[in-house]
């Protein structure tokens, strides 16, 4: 970043946003960040080790995070904290205008979209598979609900949104499955 630019104008990648946010919750290693992502944001925004470690280096090169070696048990590890510039960049992104990026990738929905090219029974099976996945997801979200209710409002509100959306999708799958099953019965020859 050059001397004339404002820290709030730093262009952050999607992974950079996740990392700065996770470090803002407390000092973290790359491993800690991955573990926290897997327990929280992966339900709507994932990050892999292959994304996290290169991004940490880039964020450090930009002066947004500071890494300090803290070996434990003979293992090399670097613990990262936000710098004031990193805090400003995170705040700048959080307070930025414009419509937030929304991306949904769901193979079940893709199969549903193209389901006119398969048998009606297969369409119903695909919807059942979508519902089963969402039921497992709801179970996982409910499992962390009590602990999350004791933490910060942002993560807990996000969890509540996830529970509500997942519940709605399960209900939609039930209704749509019944609808397609009824249609399938009507289409059968006597």
Q: Which long-range contacts (CB under 8 A, 24 or more apart) does 141-147 make?
A: 141/43, 141/166, 144/39
Asked if residue 23 lies in contact with residue 86, where contact means CB atoms within 8 angstroms, the answer is yes
pLDDT value, residue 109 = 93
pLDDT at 76 exceeding the cut of 50: yes
Q: How confident is the model at residue 188 (pLDDT cuts 50, 70, 90)?
A: low
Q: What's the confidence (pLDDT) of residue 122?
A: 95
Given this model, what pLDDT does residue 190 score?
Answer: 45
Residues 8, 64 contacting (CB under 8 angstroms): no
Write the pLDDT tens digit of every residue in 160-179. 999 999 999 999 999 999 99
Report the predicted TM-score, pTM, of the whole model to 2 decimal places.
Answer: 0.79
% of residues, the chain, pLDDT over 90: 74
User: Is it the case that residue 187 has pLDDT exceeding 70?
Assistant: no
If you average pLDDT over residues 6-14, what whole number do you get? 71
């Amino acid at each position: 970043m050059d001397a004339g630019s404002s820290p709030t104008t730093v262009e952050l990648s999607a992974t950079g946003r996740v990392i700065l946010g996770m470090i803002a919750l407390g000092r973290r290693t790359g491993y800690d960040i991955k573990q926290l992502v897997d327990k929280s944001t992966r339900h709507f925004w994932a990050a892999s080790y292959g994304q996290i470690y290169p991004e940490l280096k880039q964020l450090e090169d930009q002066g947004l995070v500071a890494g300090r070696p803290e070996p434990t048990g003979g293992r090399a590890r670097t613990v990262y904290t936000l710098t004031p510039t990193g805090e400003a960049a995170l705040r700048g992104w959080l307070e930025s205008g414009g419509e937030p990026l929304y991306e949904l990738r769901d193979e079940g929905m893709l199969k549903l979209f193209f389901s006119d090219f398969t048998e009606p029974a297969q369409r119903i099976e695909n919807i059942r598979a979508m519902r089963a996945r969402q039921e497992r997801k709801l179970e996982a979200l409910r499992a962390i609900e009590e602990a999350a209710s004791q933490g910060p409002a942002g993560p807990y509100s996000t969890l509540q949104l996830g529970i509500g959306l997942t519940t709605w999708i399960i209900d939609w799958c039930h209704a749509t499955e019944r609808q397609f099953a009824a249609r399938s019965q009507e289409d059968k020859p006597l």
